[in-house]
Structure formats: C-alpha cells, structure tokens
C-alpha cells in the first residue's frame, strides 16, 4: 500500500462499498463493521501520509502518473502538496468518525453505508487529483451519493433540499466545465509541444498558455466561471441558500461531512486551480473577494442570530466562518493564506463537533427548536460540557484552534484591507452573541421538566466527539504541526501571485 498511498486512500472505500453491496440483506452489524473498516484504512494511511510528508519540499509528493484516455491526453495523475494534505487528513478523519456516528441508521443500512463510502472516495479524489479532468470526475462523483444521502435519509423536506443542493452544485459544475475546456484547448503540453492537456501542472505554468488564454477578457471570464463554480460550494453570498436547507434536512453524519469537508472543496478549488492558473486575475479580484468575505462573515452571523433551529444556526455559522477563509485568501499575505487554509481545517473539525452535538440532542428529543429546551445543564451535565466546548471553539476562544486561524486571518488581512477587516471583526461580537444566546436558551436558565428523564451523552457519541475535541484543543495550544505541513507550499503560491500581480 505504501507505493500508491493516494490511490489506496481514494479507492479503498470503493472496495468497501462493493463488498457491502454483496452482503445479504439484514446483516446490519456486518455492514456497519465493513464500513468502519473500509473507512479506517484511509485514516491509517492518512496518518502515514502525515508522517511521511516532507514538510520542506515545495511541490507535489506521492505522485502517481499514468495514461488514462490517450485520445484527449487525459491522465490519471494524483499527488499532494501542503494545501491538500490537511484536507486529506480532515476527510479521512471525519469520514471515519461519521461512520461511527451513523451507527443508529436503521433505514436501508446497506445503501447508506455504501453511498457514504463512495462519497468518501469522491472527496479524497478531489483533494488528490492533479489532472483537471480527473478532478472534475471526482467532483461530480461525490455529488451523487450526497444527493441520495440527503434525499433518502433526510428530514421532512428532504426532496426539496436534495434537489436544491444538486441543482445548485451542478450549475457551478457547468461553469467550471466550460472554463476547464477552455484551459484544456489552449494549454501547451511541453512534452509534445502541442496544445491540449488536462495536466494541472502544465496549466499552472503561464508560459504554456496560448491563444485566447493570453487575452485579458478571456482570462477574466475564465476566472469568473471558476470562481462562481467554486463559490457555490463554499458557499459565498448570495449562492449560499442551499446550505441551510441541506443541513437541516440531512442526517447528522451527512451534515458533518457537508460542513466539514464539502464546503472546503470550494475554497480548495480556488486555491488549487483559480489562483495558480490565473494569478493576475486573482490579484485583480482581491478587493471584491475581501468584500464578499466580509459580507459572508457578517451576513452569516446576523442570520444565525435570528434562527430558532439549532441546525440552521450552525449552518449559518458555517457561512460566517467560511467568510474568514475568504477574507484570509483575499489578502494574499503569508498570515492570510496560511490562516485561511488553517481555518478551513479548523472549521472542519469544530463544525463537525457542533453538528454531532446537535445530533445527540435530536436523537433524544426529536426536535431542534432552541426555545424548546432550557436548563439542560442540570439534566445532561456531560453533554453540556462537550457542547459548550464546541461552541466556544466556534467563537474563536483562545486556546482552541479556531482562535489561531481567525487571528491569523485578521492579522494577514489587516495590512491589505484595513477597513474591510475592521468591519469583519464585528463578526467576532455577533458570533459570540448567537452562540451564547443559544447556549443560554438551551442549557441555562429554568429547567424544562419535560426532559427530566433525558439520557446524558453515551460513550459511543463521546467516542466520536472526544478525538475531534482533542485535535481542536491541541492545535489551539500548539498549531505548528498543521501549519508546518502547509506553509512551504502556500508561501510559494503567494510568491506566484505576487509576481503576477
């Protein structure tokens, strides 16, 4: 497995899914065990990757490069750098925990776990692909299981949410596809000297761009196409409304993956594809991007403040937190971009905790109405502690990882966008407001006697929450292990953009 570690990580879940498909109906325990095992292997490999990854090397590592479809010069090309390794780690980590968190799924267990593993494969592939076509394939592959996971195992308005999610994302994909084809047609393959290659590494090199790719208007159009395509995934205002609906309807574990990993694909795409391929346009688009970031931060926070459904609140908080990522990216400074990627990682872990916590209460009370609780702190002390931990992490409490990345984003963005950063910083007040208000209404205050017999969090749920909590705490105290992974690659990305600008 050591040779093709990325392929194993990507395709082992597929093997698991196939195996599950052949397990006779009714053997739910076996299905779950197989699923957990199939998700555990990528996690182990991810740890291996974390250890073996050379932190001082700029460029891609663990490369796998084969011909795939020769006619169109499409290749099977996988590799990771400092930008993708944290995302791969996050994907492997959360996928495994989500399988455990889904243990209670009773409806069509086989289908659920098989789809979940396919989803993991798609996500892994997106983060590892170095061939644009391959990237696109994985991007779409991951869409379908998600659609079914929301549409079949979701809440009351699941069809609406699933279709909204699917159509929205598909609309983005189409724009991306057009841009991809344009890039493909007018990029020279240095090996043959002819145009037409999907190899991202060739696309990164501006010297390979020919024909219309050298025209400013075309480059702007391509940038916008890619940006909107990725913006829908992030989601950036005003393309964000699929998110609250999808989150509210999706089952807990799917929400976790949706917020924890899928949203990162948008920002990952911008950093992996848009920035290095069109650095001049990226530089020119800094201010609009920063403004969109500020809007996301504040708009998401204010919307969250007005929600009465816990999951919707957490969903809007995701919109707000992804705004920090955008703000940091738009600064194109060391602290900004490193902070943005670190925030992507941290948001993944912290939001995962929040959704898992909401899932715990939903499993017991069968509703998520914030005003329907009160004084749970006395009835579920352990759960209160864990949830408070997650919520305080979300408002960027120092000592927990969210603070480090938010502070880095602000420090990085401030020299470049002074006013916008100051306005965005209001988000830290509103962020605290919606979190504390929810904390008060759910856990503090007068006891709601309806829930006197409610059970506190159980050990299986703790098993899913504690590892994430430890990661959040550790990275809050000492963030360098993850920052070391990314800083060399990201700093060279900044250099590329600053040269172009």
Binding site for other proteins (CB under 8 A): 164, 167-168, 238, 240-242, 244, 299, 302-307, 333-335, 338, 375, 377-378, 392, 397-399, 403-404, 407-408, 410-412, 414-418, 421-422, 425-426, 428-430, 432-433, 436-437, 439-440, 443-447, 478-480, 483, 487, 491, 498
Pair of tokens at residue 325: 């990522």
Nearer to other proteins by Cβ, of 241 and 455: the residue is 241
Nearer to other proteins by Cβ, of 19 and 407: the residue is 407
Nearer to other proteins by Cβ, of 226 and 408: the residue is 408
| Residue 251 and residue 217 in contact, taking contact as beta carbons nearer than 8 Å | no
Alpha helices in 285-333 (DSSP H): 286-305, 310-331
Alpha helices in 186-285 (DSSP H): 200-204, 216-233, 242-249, 252-257, 263-269, 275-277, 279-284
| Residue 437 C-beta: closest distance to other proteins, Å | 7
| Residue 36 C-beta: closest distance to other proteins, Å | 28
| Residue 356 C-beta: closest distance to other proteins, Å | 21
Secondary structure percentages of the chain, helix, strand, coil, to 5: 75, 5, 20
| Residue 335 C-beta: closest distance to other proteins, Å | 4
The owner of tokens 């990725």 is: 230
Alpha helices in 4-131 (DSSP H): 5-22, 28-52, 84-101, 109-128
| Residue 254 C-beta: closest distance to other proteins, Å | 21
Question: Which residue from 303, 336, 342 is spatially nearest to 479, judged by alpha carbons?
Answer: 342
3-state secondary structure of 75: strand
Neighbouring-strand partners of residue 187: 209
| Residue 349 C-beta: closest distance to other proteins, Å | 19
Nearer to other proteins by Cβ, of 9 and 326: the residue is 326
Nearer to other proteins by Cβ, of 42 and 476: the residue is 476
Nearer to other proteins by Cβ, of 100 and 483: the residue is 483
SS (H, E, C) 348-370: HHHHHHHHHHHHHHHHHHCCCEH
| Residue 147 C-beta: closest distance to other proteins, Å | 16
Nearer to other proteins by Cβ, of 45 and 325: the residue is 325
The full length of the chain comes to 501
């Amino acid at each position: 497995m050591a040779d093709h570690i990325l392929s194993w990580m990507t395709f082992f879940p597929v093997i698991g899914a196939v195996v599950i498909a052949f397990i006779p109906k009714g053997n739910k325990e076996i299905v779950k065990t197989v699923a957990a095992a199939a998700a555990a292997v990528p996690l182990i490999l991810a740890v291996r990757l974390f250890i073996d990854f050379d932190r001082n090397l700029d460029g891609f590592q663990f490369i796998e490069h084969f011909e795939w479809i020769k006619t169109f010069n499409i290749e099977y090309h996988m590799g990771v750098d400092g930008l993708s390794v944290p995302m791969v780690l996050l994907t492997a980590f959360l996928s495994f925990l989500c399988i455990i968190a889904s243990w209670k799924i009773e409806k069509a267990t086989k289908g659920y776990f098989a789809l979940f593993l396919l989803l993991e494969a798609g996500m892994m592939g997106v983060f590892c692909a170095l061939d644009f076509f391959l990237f696109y394939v994985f991007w779409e592959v991951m869409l379908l299981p998600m659609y079914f996971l929301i549409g079949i195992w979701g809440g009351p308005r699941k069809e609406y949410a699933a279709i909204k999610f699917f159509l929205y994302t598909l609309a983005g994909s189409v724009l991306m596809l057009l841009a991809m084809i344009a890039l493909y047609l007018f990029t020279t393959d240095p090996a043959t000297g002819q145009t037409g290659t999907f190899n991202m590494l060739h696309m990164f090199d501006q010297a390979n761009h020919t024909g219309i790719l050298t025209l400013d208007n075309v480059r702007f159009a391509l940038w916008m196409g890619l940006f909107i395509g990725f913006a829908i995934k992030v989601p950036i205002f005003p393309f964000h409304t699929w998110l609250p609906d999808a989150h509210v309807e999706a089952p807990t574990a799917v929400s976790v993956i949706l917020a924890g990993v899928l949203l990162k694909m948008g920002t990952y795409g911008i950093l992996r594809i848009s920035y290095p391929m069109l650095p001049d346009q990226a530089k020119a688009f800094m201010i609009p991007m920063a403004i969109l970031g500020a809007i996301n931060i504040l708009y998401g926070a204010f919307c969250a403040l007005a929600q009465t459904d816990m999951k919707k609140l957490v969903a809007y908080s995701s919109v707000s937190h992804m705004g920090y990522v955008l703000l940091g990216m738009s600064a194109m400074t060391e602290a900004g971009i490193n902070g943005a990627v670190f925030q992507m990682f941290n948001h993944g872990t912290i939001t995962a905790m929040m959704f898992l916590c909401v899932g715990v209460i939903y499993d017991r009370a069968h509703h998520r109405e914030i005003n329907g609780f009160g004084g749970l702190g006395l009835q579920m002390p352990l759960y209160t502690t864990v949830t408070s931990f997650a919520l305080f992490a979300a408002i960027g409490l120092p000592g927990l990882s969210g603070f480090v990345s938010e502070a880095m984003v602000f420090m990085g963005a401030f020299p470049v966008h002074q006013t916008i950063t100051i306005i965005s910083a209001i988000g830290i007040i509103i962020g605290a407001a919606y979190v504390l208000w929810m904390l008060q209404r759910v856990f503090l205050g007068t006891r709601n006697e309806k829930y006197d017999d409610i059970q506190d969090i159980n050990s299986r749920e703790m098993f899913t929450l504690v590892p994430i909590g430890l990661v959040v705490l550790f990275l809050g105290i000492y963030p360098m292990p993850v920052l070391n992974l990314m800083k060399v690659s990201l700093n060279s990305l900044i250099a590329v953009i600053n040269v172009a600008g």
